[in-house]
Chain A
Amino acid sequence: MSARRLLNPTTVGVLVVFAVLLALPSVASEFFIYVVLTEALILGLTASTIVFLAAYGGMISLAQLLLAGVAGFMFGNAALSDGARGLNLGWSPWVAVLFALGVTTAVAFLLGALGSRTTGIYFLMLTLVYGVIGFTVFAQVVTISGPGGVTSIVAPEPFNDRLTLYYAAVWLSVLAYVAFRAIGRTNFGLALQGVRDDPVRMSSLGYNVALHRTLAFALGGFVAGLGGLLNVWWRGQIDPASISIGPTLILLIIAVIGGISYFEGAWLGALVYVLLDTYTADIPLIENIGLTPDRFNTVIGLIVLLIMVLSPEGLVGILERLRRGRGIAKPSEHSIEPPTTAHSPVQTGAGQEP
């Protein structure tokens, strides 16, 4: 890869954002760094797995928050030695980390295998069912959590320091972003995109369609598990309500606001969501039009509705369009819809790379 190719606007943009994120703690307020940005990065990391599965695999998954939750619950169960609830295994924290990620990846592999023969809207529904049943399992099975969840979780050294945790969220986010982009160019990533566009043809070319989908789902689960670990370290606790149907839909909404075919979109959507969540109440006169902070979900719902009506490609899609200076009517190659001509003999290899 030549230096010229590396120096495209996207790479430069990512580097600039990375540098800004690393420099921000010395400039911005503590509240902004440790509450707003950290939460946005963690949510973005988790939401990026939705984008990964949607963009490369054509699978819109509502189970990613569940998988993040599995990692959080497993860490809490394994690392605590005398909590009020959970197994209280009392393992060393790093063993607990491995255990949590291992269980999460295994669960993702199994769930992915179960759903690997379904696609599109069926997959969306199936993963929503996963998410809600998973929530109910954690809410009801008192041996691992129960309704109150697992509390007083402490992050292992050195992540118990909030600045280190912020940097960890930055680094993991950038790593996930770069890795997800790079996977798109590997054999596995290309085959996965082939499976997305035309499973029948890929199958007859000898590719194991179900296995590709399952492995992608397991990989997405692993990264969602990383997000889940950061999340419990940041919050110090996890309860089933945090993975119930509401937050599950919110995570998808985050990916949709940003643009479900763009990896940048996951973090952008998360940032927009957290900013709205934090600062809606501060907008002057907002209460006069009936939008109190209690009605935040109405605001976020209307925003998603607006975005889906105007442009299913989300904010990044809108920005992209503005940058190219083309009209709104032009259909983008980044569409959440699978190509309608999936079985036509002539088809250009419309990948995700611009």
Chain B
Amino acid sequence: VVATSAQTTRRTTPRAVLRRVPALVVYALVALAILWVLVLAENTPAKPAISDPGGFAVTLLDGLTNAGLLFVVASGFTLIFGLMRTVNMAHGSLFLLAGFTAIELQQRMVGRTRSIAPEDVSIVSWIVPLLAAAALAAGLGVLLQQVFLRWNQGQELRQALITIAISVVLADQMLRQFGGLAKTMVWPGAVSHFVEFSGERYATSRLFMLGVAVVVGVALWLWLTRTRMGMVIRAGVDDEPMVRALGINVAVVFGVTFFVGAFLAGVGGVMGASLAGAATGSDGVWLLNSLVVVIVGGLGSIKGAVAGSVLFGLVGAFSPAYLPSEYTFYSVIFSFVLLALVLALRPYGLLGRPA
């Protein structure tokens, strides 16, 4: 009711005009940022896009490939929240656990623990650890859900605190098991090349990662829109009591959703371990990344996860490249600026709805 009356009186009262100010400021800032990157950028690591299209393309690809990884991780987080209203604060821990596990498996499959070159790694010795580690994360996720989250469904904050406690324990146990040093998963030799375009070299492994993310996204979309289970999940997101009343075994659906969400965290963890390595602390970083993506995109919405990943990925790639060199270390602030701009316009994220 409030929204409608505001809309009808939008252009008449001064107060309604005031309400438009944040939106106008945001649009102006976005336009300014685009103009800066395209033409104005001065004294920055990458030149303006019109004079240096290659550098622009590399930055854009960096942003999009990062967005692919962000989407894989955050879609699992948002899937679980959308259906069960459970905020899984241990999502980053599942991510890191899968990364460490896949690295161990790959080392066993290759038969060496150090100085593994991409040539030693076949596609199989990348895919099999990926699937096994993701399955481990998924299994652990279902275990957590069944033991700790099943009986307190609906108590969001209690569940968040329970998963925080679990993430603290898991982080400590992973430190014990895998040590504090960063380890890296090695990309298969078949994708470890460079492509060249307009004078720039670009790592194929990043494009491969984007490909994996797109495959995951399409599979997720097909699963949610074309299968019975997917329809039940979407119906559950909209109206869970009604789904229950229709005689569907919601407990099973919850378990499956948690499995898939944790599996996605695991897939993301292996991809992240291949891209940047796995280390103590990555769990917190990726929990944060998932949170930013879903807060920007809107909690519980897969489309929102796409939008949030792309925006966050692009901001993360463009802000260090197009800030004047002496201010590069301020680039982290721009993820906050993104969050602030989106929240100023839409408190529940771009595609989110109030709970």
Contacts and interface: CB of A to CB of B under 8 A. Distances in A.
Interface of A: 60, 114-115, 117-118, 120-122, 124-126, 128-129, 132-133, 136-137, 140-142, 244-246, 249, 252-253, 256, 294-298, 300-302, 304-305, 308-309, 312, 336-337
B288 A128 contact: yes
A298 B164 contact: no
B350 interface: no
Given A121-B85, A304-B164, A132 B340 contact: no
Interface class of chain A by DSSP: helix
B332 A133 contact: yes
B324 to A, nearest CB: 14
B1 to A, nearest CB: 10
A137 B340 CA distance: 15
A144 B242 CA distance: 54
Nearest to B346: A117
B168 A244 contact: no
Contacts of A312: 155, 158, 161
Contacts of A136: 332
Contacts of B292: 129
Contacts of B339: 126, 129, 133
Nearest to A116: B347
Nearest to A58: B157
Contacts of B148: 305, 309
Contacts of A115: 343
Contacts, number: 126
A295 B299 contact: no
Interface of B: 85, 87, 148, 155-158, 160-162, 164-169, 171-173, 176, 284-285, 287-288, 291-292, 294-295, 299, 329-330, 332-333, 335-336, 339-340, 343-344, 347-348, 355
Contacts of B347: 117-118
A121 B172 contact: no
A308 B89 CA distance: 14
A132 B171 CA distance: 17
Contact of A245 (B176, B288, B330): B288
B344 A253 contact: no
A122 B333 contact: no
Contacts of B173: 298
B355 A120 contact: yes
Given A124-B160, A141-B333, A249-B167, 8 more contacts: A129-B292, A132-B285, A142-B329, A256-B161, A298-B169, A301-B166, A304-B164, A308-B162
Contacts of A114: 340, 343-344
B284 A244 contact: yes
A137 B157 CA distance: 28
B87 A125 contact: yes
Contact of B168 (A122, A132, A140, A253): A253
Nearest to A118: B347
